[in-house]
């Protein structure tokens, strides 16, 4: 019989799929690693499992303990899923700009959600950082994973994502492409692939216009979620990427919509962004048929139906050009 003992056993071993339509003007083979196949729906399940394992080993998490983290998205779902399987309480602190849908997902997994005012700055005691710090101090047995500085984030990708890609491409990949948020994915996966290939695999970071990684002198707001930062987190090792490619909101959202319509892959905006970065790099370097690029797609498009996939939202946010360009055209 092939029966998993519990749902957390299904984390990882996500599939690789080749792209055919959005890649029609590049010669390189482009395959994507589809992380929405994880049980919580994103690559963050991987870090949740390893962070919780490590905290149990170090004694930071004891039976009946509580996990407190300021997060609204995928990391919360991953932590809630693994915590629930092991009997921990979870409390997530989210700013009030986070949609009711996202809060409902966390509650559905049994998490408690505390909403804080978005306009409270990091020094304000009502801010979501301050509230989560206070709860972590005050609740007995509380553990705060802190995904931005926890080394188990990148480690999880070093031990799972990297080896899976190496194995599933028969060691033949030439390029790995991933967006940079906390930096855990690119740091851990990239480090493994560099070591395994003795430096041959090129590591390409994808970054939104306005984020610090691609241009520290021009940090500003952007709409792609889950990637880019305005500071350098400890989870990111800047020596790993060979190149960082900047992508605009419009380019990322256009590609995100095309991925669903042309490739049958309903993915999030950071996935569209990573595909754009791969194609830009392939064109810039004139990569040929012997190149095999693997692009990591962190999550599903289900969480973005009322944004990227809504014509109304796209129009209101200045992306009418993307809509009028249609879908069946070369990049």
| Beta carbon nearer to ligand PMP, 73 or 162 | 73
* Residue 227 contacts ligand PMP per CB under 6 A: yes
Of 51-59, 97-105, 181-189, 259-267, the window that binds ligand PMP (rule: CB under 6 A) is 181-189
Kindly tell me which residue out of 70, 78, 241, 298 binds ligand PMP, with binding defined by CB under 6 A.
298
Element of type H or E holding 113: strand 112-116
Of 106-114, 137-145, 174-182, 275-283, the window that binds ligand PMP (rule: CB under 6 A) is 174-182
Catalytic residue of the set 44, 194, 280, 307? 44
| Beta carbon nearer to ligand PMP, 162 or 181 | 181
For helices 249-263 and 269-284, what crossing angle results, to 10°? Answer: 100
* Residue 268 contacts ligand PMP per CB under 6 A: yes
Check if 289 is active-site. no
207 by Cβ neighbours in 10 Å (0-12 / 13-18 / 19+) ranks as buried
The residue whose Cβ lies closest to ligand PMP is: 226
The Cα angle at residue 307 between residues 306 and 313, in degrees rounded to 5: 100
* Residue 182 contacts ligand PMP per CB under 6 A: yes
Q: Which of residues 34-93 bind ligand PMP (CB under 6 A)?
A: 73-74
What is the longest distance spanned by two Cα atoms in the chain?
58
Q: CA–CA separation, 158 vs 276, rounded Å? A: 24
| Beta carbon nearer to ligand PMP, 20 or 104 | 104
Q: CA–CA separation, 205 vs 182, rounded Å? A: 12
| Beta carbon nearer to ligand PMP, 43 or 169 | 43
* Residue 12 contacts ligand PMP per CB under 6 A: no
Of 4-12, 93-101, 224-232, 255-263, the window that binds ligand PMP (rule: CB under 6 A) is 224-232
Q: What is the phi/psi pair of residue 304, to 5°?
A: -130, 20
Of 104-112, 173-181, 207-215, 275-283, the window that binds ligand PMP (rule: CB under 6 A) is 173-181
Q: CA–CA separation, 226 vs 248, rounded Å? A: 14
Q: CA–CA separation, 79 vs 110, rounded Å? A: 11
Q: Which residues contact 17 (CB under 8 A, 6 or more apart)?
A: 31, 32, 34, 263, 265
* Residue 281 contacts ligand PMP per CB under 6 A: no
Task: List residues with catalytic annotation.
Answer: 44
């Amino acid at each position: 019989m092939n029966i998993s003992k519990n749902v957390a056993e299904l984390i990882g071993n996500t599939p690789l799929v080749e792209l055919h339509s959005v890649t029609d003007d590049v010669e390189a083979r482009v395959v994507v690693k589809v992380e929405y196949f994880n049980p919580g729906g994103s690559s963050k399940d991987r870090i949740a499992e390893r962070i919780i394992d490590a905290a149990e080993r170090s004694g930071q998490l004891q039976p009946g303990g509580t996990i407190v983290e300021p997060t609204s998205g995928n990391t919360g779902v991953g932590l809630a899923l693994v915590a629930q399987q092991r009997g921990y309480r979870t409390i997530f602190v989210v700013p009030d700009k986070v949609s009711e849908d996202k809060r409902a997902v966390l509650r559905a997994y049994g998490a408690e959600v505390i909403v804080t005012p978005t306009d409270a700055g990091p020094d304000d005691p009502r801010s979501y950082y301050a509230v989560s710090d206070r709860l972590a101090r005050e609740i007995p047995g509380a553990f705060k994973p802190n995904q931005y500085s926890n080394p188990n984030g990148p480690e999880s990708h070093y031990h799972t994502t990297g080896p899976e890609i190496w194995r599933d491409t028969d060691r033949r990949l030439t390029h790995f492409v991933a967006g940079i948020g906390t930096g855990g994915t690119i740091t851990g996966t990239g480090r493994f692939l560099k070591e395994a290939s003795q430096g041959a695999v090129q590591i390409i970071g994808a970054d939104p216009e306005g984020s610090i990684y691609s241009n520290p002198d021009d940090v500003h707001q952007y709409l792609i979620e889950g990637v880019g930062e305005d500071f350098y987190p400890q989870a990111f090792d800047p020596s790993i990427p060979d190149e960082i490619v900047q992508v605009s909101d419009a380019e990322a959202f256009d590609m995100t919509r095309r991925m669903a319509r042309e490739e049958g892959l309903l993915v999030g905006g950071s996935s569209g962004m990573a595909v754009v970065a791969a194609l830009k790099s392939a064109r810039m370097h004139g990569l040929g048929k012997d190149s095999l690029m693997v692009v990591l797609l962190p999550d599903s498009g289900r969480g973005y139906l009322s944004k990227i996939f809504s014509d109304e939202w796209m129009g209101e946010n200045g992306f009418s050009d993307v809509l009028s360009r249609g879908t069946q055209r070369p990049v």
